[in-house]
Amino acid sequence: MRVLGIETSCDETGIAIYDTDSGLLAHKLYSQVKLHADYGGVVPELASRDHVRKTLPLIEAALDEAGITAADLGGVAYTAGPGLIGALLVGACIGRSLALGWQIPAVAVHHMEGHLLAPMLEDDVPAFPFIALLVSGGHTQLVRVDGIGQYQLLGESVDDAAGEAFDKTAKLLGLDYPGGPRLAALAEQGRADRYQFPRPMTDRPGLDFSFSGLKTHAANTIASADDSPQTHADIARAFQDAVVDTLVIKCRRALDETGLKRLVVAGGVSANKHLREKLHQFADKIGGQVFFPRNEFCTDNGAMIAFAGAQRLLAGEHESLAIRTRPRWPLTELTSV
């Protein structure tokens, strides 16, 4: 089955075509970074309008790249949530309408399930069960995964997500949008021993996260420090080290508590070089395995939606003619396939 995937949950228009026999046939992505840069963050109305302009041309380009036509498709998958309601509606309306016109089934995909399954697009595929760390601008969650749709939430952020804290701290340092990757690049120039930031909620039992206080600690440090480039780099290094150490500590706890040895890490922050190094070191130490998607599939993309949708279409799931989107959608409400 060949499935068209449409991702429009936030500020990136992602389109892909996935073949359940041959793998990924085409992958197109348009980023709205330049559009939102002047505002220092995503403007929902502008994001929605840009998705309207870009989605259909990208679908046409993906079909051309795959060397197929709409008649060769067996289904359409689109992100139905969580995300920005206007942006979600663009992809959902286009996806459902195309499926109706082409007389093929459509399926609504959970954005975070797409991220969770993204490592399965690689050659080295994780076997069930495993622990998943979903870490992005909007989510930081630890999930036990026993199969597709079989999810047990073990812990999550009680305030800012890790990616959100990266972006906010980057803004405090005067870095341009998108701040997270820029802060990580600046941290490469920082000294590890100048500042010591707290590792929040690691001094108590549990698998929940909290990054709001860490962001406040960074703000206070920046306010009391000099304004030199080296000082900013040192603060960025201390902040990144604190976030990464916190994530690693919580992953270790989750694996210890469940007795599992496999860890999947996905979402935008999973592209962070320092996080990948630390988790690989940890996995080697315990004789475990850690799986990441390739960098281009860490951020929002159509490939993960096409893959996740294909699994549910193969299991017989499909949507009615009603178009439904869910800005908030607990991962644990998904059905098993």
Is-contact 50 35, C-beta < 8 A? yes
Mean pLDDT of 219-239: 98
Annotated binding site: 111, 115, 134-138, 167, 180, 272, 300
Structure token pair of residue 267: 């979402």
pLDDT on residue 283: 97
> DSSP 3-state assignment of 280?
helix
Binding residues for substrate: 134-138, 167, 180, 272
User: Residue 131: what pLDDT?
Assistant: 98
Task: Look at residue 229 in the predicted model and tell me its pLDDT.
Answer: 97
- pLDDT tens across 163-220, in order? 999 999 999 999 998 999 999 999 999 999 999 999 999 999 999 999 999 999 999 9
Contact by Cβ (8 Å): 6, 296: no
Q: Give the pLDDT confidence of 55-93 residue by residue, as tens digits.
A: 999 999 999 999 999 999 999 999 999 999 999 999 999
DSSP code per residue over 134-199: EESSS-EEEEEEEETTEEEEEEEBSSS-HHHHHHHHHHHTTPPSSHHHHHHHHHTTS-TTS-----
Burial class for 276, CB neighbours closer than 10 Å (0-12, 13-18, 19+): middle
Question: Residue 176's pLDDT is what?
Answer: 92
Least confident residue range of 105-109, 176-180, 218-222, 272-276 = 176-180
Question: How would residue 300 be classed by pLDDT, with cut points 50, 70 and 90?
Answer: very high
Q: Model confidence at 32, in pLDDT bands (50, 70, 90)?
A: very high
Residue 147 confidence (pLDDT): 98
Whole-number pLDDT of residue 215: 96
Question: CA-to-CA distance for 337 and 87, rounded, in angstroms?
Answer: 27
- Residue 83, sorted as left (phi over 0), alpha (psi -120 to 50) or beta, turns out to be left
Percent of the chain past pLDDT 70, that is, above it, reads 100
- pLDDT confidence of residue 58: 98
Report CA dihedral (311, 315, 321, 323) to the nearest 10 degrees.
Answer: -40
Ranking 37-41, 128-132, 162-166, 193-197 by mean pLDDT, the lowest is 37-41
**What pLDDT score was predicted for residue 160?**
93
CA separation for the pair 260, 271 (Å, rounded): 23
Question: Whole-angstrom Cα distance, residue 304 to residue 295?
Answer: 13
Binding residues for Fe cation: 111, 115, 300
Mean pLDDT of the chain: 97
Residue 5, beta-bridge partner list: 16, 77
Torsion angle, alpha carbons of 221, 226, 232, 238, to 10 = -40
Instruction: Report all structural domains of the chain as residue ranges with CATH numbers, in order of start.
Output: 2-117+297-333 (3.30.420.40), 127-292 (3.30.420.40)
Tell me what pLDDT residue 275 has.
98
pTM above 0.85, yes or no: yes
Give the pLDDT confidence of 15-26 residue by residue, as tens digits. 999 999 999 999
Helix (H) or strand (E) holding 54: helix 44-66
Strand partners, 59: none
Question: Crossing angle, helix 179-187 and helix 229-258, to 10 degrees?
Answer: 100
Mean pLDDT value of segment 308-334: 96
Q: How many helices and strands in the chain, by DSSP H and E? A: 10, 10
